[in-house]
Structure formats: C-alpha cells, structure tokens
Amino acid sequence: MERQMICIMCPMGCNLTVKEQDGQITVTGNGCNRGVVFAKEEISCPKRIVTTSVKTKNGVKSVKTTASIPKSLIFDCVKEIEKLRLKDAKFGQIIIKNVLNTGADVVVTANE
C-alpha cells in the first residue's frame, strides 16, 4: 500500500510517499528524519496539537495543548475545555493538567 502525505513538522511541507509492505514502512520525499517519524506516527496513531478558546467572565481566551494528542481525542478535549468558565486566565496558565490522560496540559496562549 502506498500513501501520499505532507509533513507538517516544519514549514518546508515535504511531500512524503509512504509505502507499507510486509510490515515494513518506507518513507521517501522527506527532507529530514522528522518526516519519517511523522509518517510512521501518522499511520499508527495520528496526533495533533489542539488550539481553541476557553470562556472567561470577560469573553474568551485562546488555549492550546502543550503537546500533540491522538486525533481520536480532539473532540473530547474540546468538550472538556468548553465545560470551563474561568474568572481570569493569564498567559501560560495551565487550565487542565494531563487532559484526558494524554500527558498534555491545556495552557492559555494569550494575555488579552
């Protein structure tokens, strides 16, 4: 089986060709080894950083996860964040520690 994908690990956006044969995965088109790691993870357990916003008493503030989490947990993660309504939230503040046991925290990414 052969798949095409774009590496999102840096702005170069290399076009990767990923071949799976007899349990072996080969990656070509990568500009560096991070592309190989990305492609293998994308096939076995794709992950993404989650960016969204949290409600505060004065509006909303942007937040993100401190690490990539499995794509299958993104909507559950957003639901956890939607449950919150913070009095105040400062830049860098952790608002959820170890969200959904992923090892990633959710932190505030804006002051205003």
> Which residues lie below 8 Å from residue 88, measured CB to CB, with a gap of 6+?
56, 57
CB of 6 to ligand SF4, least distance (A): 8
Please, which residue, 38 or 73, has the CB nearer to ligand SF4?
38
Tokens of 80: 């956890």
> Which residues lie below 8 Å from residue 9, measured CB to CB, with a gap of 6+?
34, 35, 37, 38
CB of 27 to ligand SF4, least distance (A): 9
Contact residues toward ligand SF4 (CB under 6 A) are 7, 9-10, 12-14, 30-32, 34-35
CB of 76 to ligand SF4, least distance (A): 28
